[in-house]
A = this chain, B = another copy of it.
Amino acid sequence: MATTLHDVARLAGVSAKTVSNVVNDYPHIKASTKERVLQAIAELGYRPNLSARGLRSGRSGVISLIIPDLRNSYFAELADAVMHAADQRGLYVLIEQTGGDREREAALVRGPRTQLVDGLLYSALELGEDDVDLLAEVTTPMVLLGERIFNAPNDHITMQNTAGARAATEHLIEIGRRRIVAFGAHPGEQVGSAGLRLVGYREALEAAGLPYDEALVRAVGVWHRYDGAVAMRAMLDEGEPFDGIVAFNDALALGAMRVLSERGIRMPEEVAIIGFDDIDEGRYSLPSLTTIAPGRDQIAETAVDMLLERIDRRGEEFPPRLVLADFQLVRRESTGASTAPPAASVSD
């Protein structure tokens, strides 16, 4: 059916291995031979069979990216960044969605597909300290993205949850806000994004000598627009006064803003709001959304690089690394910056 190395070899009058050597840029090949082989390849339209190559070499050139949900802009943008980084390094990316389901998150690192891919980039929402054993079992090279899983035996790259939340809160304090809502807490959580961001929020308050008021800490279990809208509606109905919001991600912030607008509450005059993630949508909301940009490209590139190193040095034992990506405060209208429209479309 498809043409193979042998077909090319026959046409070029060389051995199959020589064709393989040409394809793989093995150095010691006479120019004329190479020429002849390349021509035969072009003539027959030869393309290497990646399954065979994968079987023989133990490498498929495919890595898995495991994320909760592509419909969540943050993960879509992360996936995009990862795919570009992978592409530059000659890798293909197979995306798996967990739907944030704990069972599925656990199942995916065992499934047969780990036999297809060379490594895993794993962005878990639900797994935590208790699952260290599970992660230790995984023999496929793996790099964790995002949450801090305490003492996990893996390389790990994360945004600076605590420092970022602290910077966000400080920003609101700087512009004169005093009753600042922490929006999106997960009560009791220690090592997840929500817990760490709450710590940063608290640190900023303390540093400024502001009280930590439980009434301003709002739990929102799922960090989507809808949930942000529902939670904000409830909060407004309660009547607890506030003048600033640190939303634990942009989607929550956008949901909350929707409700604030409905109620005729002016932003940033009456309520200033800042998010987390720097998703594209925040540039176009009304008001445009101030946010903490988590260093997405850096996260993606570092993750792929670390994974590649794990793959190349498979078998070696070397200690897990923890990388903290640089974050950045992006000031927009929702905290009083008078932004010009963005200079260019972000997509293409």
Residues of A within 8 A of B (CB): 1-2, 47-52, 54-55, 58, 60, 62, 68-73, 76-77, 79-80, 83-84, 92-95, 97, 99-101, 110-116, 139, 222, 224-227, 229-230, 254-255, 258, 261-262, 280-281, 283-286, 341-342, 344-348
Instruction: Say yes or no: B48 contacts A347, CB within 8 Å.
Output: no
- In the A-B complex, the 10 residue pairs with the smallest Cβ-Cβ separation, listed nearest first, are A51-B54, A50-B116, A226-B345, A76-B76, A51-B55, A225-B284, A70-B80, A47-B112, A47-B115, A52-B55
When C-beta atoms are compared, the residue in chain B nearest to A69 turns out to be B347
Instruction: Say yes or no: B62 contacts A55, CB within 8 Å.
Output: no
Q: A70-B83, A94-B94 are in contact. Are A48 and B115 (CB under 8 A)?
A: yes
Q: How far is the CA of A224 from the CA of B344 in the complex (A)?
A: 11
Residues of B within 8 A of A51 (CB): 51-52, 54-55, 60, 115-116
Q: A71-B347, A94-B62 are in contact. Are A255 and B284 (CB under 8 A)?
A: yes
Instruction: Say yes or no: A69 contacts B80, CB within 8 Å.
Output: yes
Q: How far is the CA of A230 from the CA of B340 in the complex (A)?
A: 12
Instruction: Say yes or no: A73 contacts B72, CB within 8 Å.
Output: no
CB distance from A175 to the nearest CB of B (A): 22
Give how many copies assemble into the complex: 2
Instruction: Say yes or no: A254 contacts B284, CB within 8 Å.
Output: yes
CB distance from A42 to the nearest CB of B (A): 12
Q: A70-B70, A70-B76, A113-B92 are in contact. Are A342 and B226 (CB under 8 A)?
A: yes
Instruction: Say yes or no: B345 contacts A224, CB within 8 Å.
Output: yes
When C-beta atoms are compared, the residue in chain B nearest to A114 turns out to be B47
Q: How far is the CA of A348 from the CA of B105 in the complex (A)?
A: 14
Instruction: Say yes or no: A97 contacts B70, CB within 8 Å.
Output: no
